[in-house]
Amino acid sequence: MFTRSRTNTTRRQADRITQPDTAERFPGLRMEGVTKRYANADHDVLHDISLDVPRGKVLVVVGPSGSGKSTLLRAVAGLEPIQGGEILLNGDIIGQGRPGTKAAGYAPRPAALRTRIGMVFQSYDLFPNRNVLDNVTMAPVLVLKRDKRNVEQEALRLLERVGLRDRADAKPHELSGGQRQRVAICRAMIMHPELLLLDEITASLDPEMVREVLDVVLDLADGGQTMMIVTHEMAFARAVADEVVMLENGGIVERSDNPEQFFTHPRTRRAQEFLETFEFARRHRG
């Protein structure tokens, strides 16, 4: 089973939050009334979503397919402009929408804000024309203008941490799916993102590779990395989550800061029904 050393988490968090926080500068991610409608759509994909991911915490987003989980993460990432509401990261407005905001293309967000959020997708993230090390070092060198030697050393340490230091020279196509996702995590983490977004990063993996990727994520959670995770791995969700929200039809059906309770005794009927779809039972025996 998946486990997390929570004591560790709280200690690391205490280290990180040093400056006093005023009410306006909420530490972490704050979404206020976020509404998203795709171009040419006749209804909102996300409707008036408000939620917080406090710094150092992990929010797991669950919900049936098509409920808007990916759109939610993409809106936070700036990959989808929003048509209403506000998104704040550690007190800075990173996204704002009004009715009539253009619905297609990326949100107009400067690189300095984009690099504060990391994202790993379901697949095909890595740049196939570059080897593992170059994939990880490209953005810090090109965008943050950091010293290349320095970045390479940090990249190798990160790869070491996910057990892939010896594959630094490999091309992405020479890696297994699980290894590729671990590299993608390193590529995001080397930017020291204030928030890491993971959208079903194990959904296209063979079952035996899921574990190696999720263990890395648990490790990040223990290190106090603020994350928003969409996953269908319920055992993992239960282990990694500090908070859970369930989406359906673009709205929040249930939210809980007690994952244990959410996954065993959800309050709403919809959440019960949803969680039951992950359980198997034989109705007839013998």
Partner 1 sequence: MADDVAQSRGARVMNTYLVFIRVMPQLALLFIAFYGFARAWNWNLDATGACVLVFVLWGGAELGDLVRGALVSIPAIQYESAYMLGLTPWQTFTRVILPQALRRLLPGSVNLSTRIVKTTSLAVLLGVVEVIKVGQQIIDAHRFDYPQGTLWVYGVIFLMYFIVCWPLSLAARALERRWAD
Contact residues toward partner 1 (CB under 8 A) are 77-79, 104-106, 111-112, 114-115, 117-119, 121, 123-129, 138-139, 142-144, 171-173, 187-188, 191
Where does this chain bind ligand ADP (CB under 6 A)?
A: 38, 41, 45, 63, 65-71
Nearest to partner 1 of 100, 286 (CB atom): 100
Q: How far is the CB of 43 from Mg ion (least distance, A)?
A: 18
Query: What is the distance between the alpha carbons of residues 131 and 142, in angstroms, rounded to a whole number?
Result: 16
| Contacts with Mg ion, residue ranges (CB under 5 A) | 70
Q: Which single residue is written with the structure tokens 């890395």?
A: 216
Nearer to ligand ADP by C-beta: 115 or 122? 122
Per-residue CA distances from 31 to 87, 166, 247 (Å): 5, 40, 14
Classify the C-alpha dihedral 175-218-246-47 as positive or negative.
negative
Nearest distance from C-beta of residue 102 to ligand ADP, angstroms: 13
90 phi and psi, to 5 degrees? Answer: 45, 45
Q: Which is nearer to partner 1, 116 or 232 (CB)?
A: 116
Q: How far is the CB of 79 from partner 1 (least distance, A)?
A: 6
* Residue linked to tokens 């190696």: 212
State how far the Cα of 83 lies from the Cα of 226, in Å rounded to an integer. Answer: 25
Min CB(21)–partner 1 separation in Å? 26
Q: Which does 84 bind (CB under 5 to 8 A by kind): partner 1, ligand ADP, Mg ion, none?
A: none
- What is the spatial distance between Cα 247 and Cα 245, in angstroms, rounded to a whole number? 6
